[in-house]
Structure 1
Amino acid sequence: FKAEWAAELPGDEPLTVYWSGDDWLDMCRGPHLPSTGKLDPNAFKLTRVSGAYWRGDQNNAMLSRIYGTGWLNKKQLDAHMTRLEEAAKRDHRKLGNEMDLFHLQAEAHGSVFWHPKGYLIWRELEAYMRRAIDGAGYREVKTPQVMDARQWEQSGHWGKYRENMFVIPDEVPNVDDEGPVISGEADWMALKPMNCPAHVLIFRQGLKSYRDLPMRLYENGCCHRNEPHGALHGLMRVRQFTQDDAHIFCREDQIVDEVQAFCELADRVYKHFGFTYSIKLALRPEKRFGTEEMWDMAESELRAAVVRAGLATEEYGWEELPGEGAFYAPKLEWHLTDAIGRTWQVGTIQSDRVLPERLDANYVGEDGEKHRPVMLHRAIFGSYERFIGIQIGHFAGRLPVWLAPVQAVVATIVSDADD
């Protein structure tokens, strides 16, 4: 099988072969230790075996896939295995089923069926977040699920993100015995994978003055993304999800203040739920919109806000990540640490000058001229589904009383009380 792979490599691609002992040779990338004698034989463990078709094609041979883990010593191995056992006990899919919170099934790949108890958790989180954003000066909006493809072309998502969008024809299809038939002249629409273009369209309604800024628009926005079936994972990776999404339209001189205020709001929320976190600055990717000057400004503004908020420290795991930003903006990321040390990326804020330009958003400045607002994309939970999944695992199903769907149960202690 490796020979088949090797035959497909370019002629100038080097091949390396390693051997162990006298008779074991393997074509692999390496590098490896000079001797297996340098390894602790008690620091390895095979964990499971499964079957897999060669190259994922069921017409090919069935192979055995062997999973294992290796560490420097047995103490590290034992600690890792303990973490795996604890993670299995805290699996949100298992607990969600046992607690009758939600389920998923093949008839709706990547979409969640919320049961009454699970939806109580959702509604409590929604109410909590509304109180938080109302106090921070946001105004709630609601936008359409489906928009014309031309809108997504203008925003840049059609070219950069189309493979992850659910696209539908803007017509009633003819139906024959073989299924629906679409005409070749049909216009196309798409379920929204994100809320930001629609929020720009709200901002554009009516004349805006510099006195109207900052304008903070918030939406519990339901989005759809066409994730591959194999990438779906419980509540953590879904196709239909709801974001606690907001966009702040502001002037250049307001950016650092607004980002700092968001950092402080996110800090209060995460600590209220009992999480510690680290904060990262994701810098410009290789493929991006906008000028270098725009990216320089956006990155420096986010960096300055974190410094002013007192979060650019070792205590908060401050780190800069080259190449990890979105195609239209750099972003700050919040990574929560749960009860067993796992990290989860949740909240973000992005400083974006590209989308207001592409969608022609403007306001009238103090000088009477038109200016582009800067658009700050931000979320704290990230998505309700993912945040609920993280909490179920973090608390091992024993949610705080205020969030628990069943807060008290009357239990009998003697049989005479059963009646």
Structure 2
Amino acid sequence: MELIGKLNDGQIYDLQTAEALGIDGTDIKADNSSESLEILRHSCAHMMAQAIKELYPEAKFFVGPVVKEGFYYDFKVESKISDDDLPTIEKKMKEIANRKLPIERYETTREEIINKFSNDELKQAVLSNIKDDTLTMYKQGDFEDLCRGPHLPNTRMIRAFKLTRVAGAYLGGDEANEMITRIYGIAFFDKGELNDYVRMLEEAKKRDHRKLGTELELFTFNDDVGAGLPLWLPNGARLRSKLEHILYKAHRVRGYEPVRGPEMLKSDMWKISGHYQNYKENMYFTIIDEQEYGIKPMNCVGHIQIFKNDLVSYKDLPLKLFEYGVVHRHEMSGAMHGLFRVREFTQDDAHIFCMQSQVKDVIIDVLEFVDSLMKLFDFKYEMEVSTKPKKAIGDDKFWETTTKGIMDALDSEGLEYGIDEGGGAFYGPKIDIKITDAIGRKWQCGTVQVDMNLPERFNVEFINDEGHKDQPVMIHRAILGSFERFIGILTEHCAGEFPFVIAPTQVIFVPIADSHVAYAKQLQRELLEEDMDSKIFDMNESLNKRIRMAEKQRVPMIVVIGDEEVEKQTVALRDRRKREQSNMTKDEFISMLNEIKKGSRI
């Protein structure tokens, strides 16, 4: 495999940069490692920009970074570009790849760049964020752009790529700036890897929770209500309620106590916590009686005040408080995406107050909870330990000690984990739970965060075994992350075919004739007594059409009712996948459904 770069102290350098700076390190070859793909995808972004420039000579470019889903480039053109234009851009990119253009790095001064791009306001915006006097440019053929790299040596190596979508983006991510165009793409060294990814994208489109949410009448959004504010329809509200009830019982049997905090608190509280200084841009504020209040983006401050309401003994620790807490966060308009990115959502949030000696056991207990829930929904998952971010409170000793404590807990159980450098919360390190869905995509969901900063800031205390006041450790914990996001992920994971225990409609009854409707209603009432939801499809359509309509609802159970079922008090249960039918008594049917529910406890 061809050598394309060097890895030194966690930093990726292309061969030209490594040579210019005299840097040696581990070889990076043209394989599918994360480092090699970063070099490839960054180079592919530039090749896309070159293709756009040849097709739209007036184009101006902002930035084109590598991101989790591949790469993108932000730019501005006079024409309107849509997904229909992507094949034309791809064709031009293939032409450029076939030219086998060398990709050349050279250094220049800030003054030269300012003069070169004097009529390019986007490049001037890029320059405003760079403080260095000596800058680097990358050139391939007639195209060049301000860039730090890393890049491949030649465009001939960029063969397996796909442009995936067009989006709008605010310049620099600032809503106050103009909206420009963004194109996303993906690239691999191996054509087979690309084909697998494209098939995954096609399957993802079929499973898109926004599409299924509309088809299954789960939720909707309304511009009059506001962006990022979902409206839960009856089907979706039933699904969500069932998920909440399963989790509620699971919390209680594990010793958690339900609490509820207010949705807004005086800003003084957020100043003490550090949210005001470190998270203010993500919060909403209002003035009441000339006093500023902050609408909560997190539940931790309220739970601290609940803990402080009473004098707690060490015998009461660990004390576990949980809440389905509604929070609000100011997300940019361009970032809204169905249930995945909203401005109001509900966390399955808990805060556990414990002694330092109990932290390890608490973390292990939480991870057991995570494991049981992931198994219920057939999710594979992995864990990452996220370390101190740039914006952080607390000294280095706290961060080192706490991060080591988290790793020791995981190591003691033989649990594998990765490291996310700088990905911690501003008040403490954390474990992030990342799940893998049915088509191989990874999603960030739950989190476990160890925090000694907030207890210190709020003077949180308990009475220790010597009768003295002591400071507890506070562990922030969410397993789903948020109900909205998790339901969106689960909808796509299941392709709308939810497990029986949380399906919004668990049974559809299809009476053959009007004379069979009364028995269907009797069964419906009996199921409701068992906390199970059903519908009756007795509309004025043919039997076959009603069965097909029921199948399209992706419900777990379809029951056909005719003369024999009414007379013998039985049901004809239809397997919609196998299109087979089985008969059983009414009592056997209800008992079977209850057994399914019982097997879904966590």
TM range (shorter): 0.7 to 0.9
Shift of 1:411: 3.8
Any residues of structure 2 matched to 1:223-234 within 5 Å, and which? 223-234=327-338
Match of 2:481 in 1: 382
- Structure 2 CA distance, aligned partners of 1:321 and 1:221? 27
**2:449 partner amino acid:** Q
SS in 2 for 1:217: strand
Match of 2:353 in 1: 249
- Structure 2 CA distance, aligned partners of 1:333 and 1:378? 10
Shift of 1:308: 2.8
Match of 2:471 in 1: 372
Q: Tell me whether 206-215 or 49-58 shows the greater mean CA deviation.
A: 49-58
Match of 2:291 in 1: 187
When normalised by structure 2's length, the TM-score is 0.61
- Structure 2 counterpart of 1:96, from 189, 193, 213: 213
Q: Deviations over 1:320-362 (max 9, x none)?
A: 2221111111001110000011111111111110001111110
Match of 1:12 in 2: 133
Q: Tell me whether 139-148 or 43-52 shows the greater mean CA deviation.
A: 43-52
Match of 2:491 in 1: 392
Shift of 1:99: 0.3
Q: Tell me whether 28-37 or 364-373 shows the greater mean CA deviation.
A: 28-37
- Structure 2 counterpart of 1:240, from 340, 344, 350: 344
1:198 aligned to 2:317?
A: no
1:305 aligned to 2:409?
A: yes
**2:156 partner amino acid:** G
- Structure 1 counterpart of 2:508, from 382, 388, 409: 409
- Structure 2 CA distance, aligned partners of 1:50 and 1:385? 23
Match of 2:156 in 1: 37
Q: Is the 8 A contact 2:379 2:437 kept in 1?
A: yes
**1:333 partner amino acid:** D
- Structure 2 CA distance, aligned partners of 1:404 and 1:140? 25
**2:135 partner amino acid:** P
- Structure 1 CA distance, aligned partners of 2:173 and 2:313? 57
- Structure 1 counterpart of 2:397, from 250, 272, 293: 293
Q: Tell me whether 149-158 or 283-292 shows the greater mean CA deviation.
A: 283-292
- Structure 2 counterpart of 1:354, from 423, 434, 453: 453
**2:355 partner amino acid:** R
- Structure 2 CA distance, aligned partners of 1:225 and 1:294? 28
Match of 2:263 in 1: 145
Higher relative contact order (CA 8 A, sep 6+): 1
Any residues of structure 2 matched to 1:55-94 within 5 Å, and which? 67-94=184-211
Q: Tell me whether 53-62 or 111-120 shows the greater mean CA deviation.
A: 53-62
Shift of 1:303: 1.2
**1:332 partner amino acid:** I
SS in 1 for 2:375: helix
> Structure 1 residues 410 and 326, CA, compared in 2 at 3 Å: closer, same or farther?
same
SS in 2 for 1:290: coil
Match of 1:169 in 2: 287
1:345 aligned to 2:464?
A: no
Q: Deviations over 1:228-282 (max 9, x none)?
A: 1111111111111111111111111111111111111111111111101001111
Q: Deviations over 1:158-208 (max 9, x none)?
A: 11111111101013xxxxxxxxxxxxxx21011111110111101111222
> Structure 1 residues 361 and 102, CA, compared in 2 at 3 Å: closer, same or farther?
same
Unaligned runs of 5+ in 2: 1-59, 62-116, 514-541, 547-561, 563-602
Number of matched pairs? 395
Q: Is the 8 A contact 1:45 1:70 kept in 2?
A: yes
> Structure 1 residues 202 and 44, CA, compared in 2 at 3 Å: closer, same or farther?
closer
SS in 2 for 1:280: strand
Q: Tell me whether 145-154 or 302-311 shows the greater mean CA deviation.
A: 302-311
Q: Is the 8 A contact 1:283 1:324 kept in 2?
A: yes
Unaligned runs of 5+ in 1: 172-185
Any residues of structure 2 matched to 1:123-142 within 5 Å, and which? 123-142=241-260
- Structure 2 CA distance, aligned partners of 1:36 and 1:225? 42
**2:218 partner amino acid:** L
Q: Deviations over 1:368-409 (max 9, x none)?
A: 211101101101111111110110000000111221112222
Q: Deviations over 1:76-129 (max 9, x none)?
A: 222121111111111101100010000012222211100000001110010010
> Structure 1 residues 303 and 99, CA, compared in 2 at 3 Å: closer, same or farther?
same
1:159 aligned to 2:268?
A: no
> Structure 1 residues 14 and 222, CA, compared in 2 at 3 Å: closer, same or farther?
same
Q: Deviations over 1:6-44 (max 9, x none)?
A: 556357132414133xxx33224244433333443xx33
SS in 1 for 2:507: coil
Shift of 1:149: 0.9
Q: Deviations over 1:268-310 (max 9, x none)?
A: 1111111010011111123321122222221122112212333
When normalised by structure 1's length, the TM-score is 0.87
> Structure 1 residues 58 and 101, CA, compared in 2 at 3 Å: closer, same or farther?
closer
1:272 aligned to 2:376?
A: yes
> Structure 1 residues 187 and 59, CA, compared in 2 at 3 Å: closer, same or farther?
closer
Q: Tell me whether 114-123 or 151-160 shows the greater mean CA deviation.
A: 151-160
Shift of 1:65: 5.5
- Structure 2 counterpart of 1:322, from 409, 421, 425: 421
- Structure 1 CA distance, aligned partners of 2:499 and 2:197? 28
Match of 1:179 in 2: none
> Structure 1 residues 113 and 6, CA, compared in 2 at 3 Å: closer, same or farther?
closer
Shift of 1:62: 9.4
Q: Is the 8 A contact 1:363 1:370 kept in 2?
A: yes
SS in 1 for 2:134: coil
The higher radius of gyration belongs to 2
> Structure 1 residues 67 and 359, CA, compared in 2 at 3 Å: closer, same or farther?
closer
- Structure 2 CA distance, aligned partners of 1:60 and 1:370? 52
Q: Tell me whether 388-397 or 205-214 shows the greater mean CA deviation.
A: 205-214
> Structure 1 residues 116 and 292, CA, compared in 2 at 3 Å: closer, same or farther?
same
> Structure 1 residues 156 and 399, CA, compared in 2 at 3 Å: closer, same or farther?
same
**2:216 partner amino acid:** M
1:209 aligned to 2:313?
A: yes
Match of 2:228 in 1: 110
- Structure 2 CA distance, aligned partners of 1:52 and 1:200? 38
**2:337 partner amino acid:** H
> Structure 1 residues 321 and 55, CA, compared in 2 at 3 Å: closer, same or farther?
closer
**2:494 partner amino acid:** F
Match of 2:322 in 1: 218
- Structure 1 CA distance, aligned partners of 2:175 and 2:248? 49
Q: Is the 8 A contact 1:264 1:309 kept in 2?
A: no
- Structure 2 CA distance, aligned partners of 1:57 and 1:259? 38
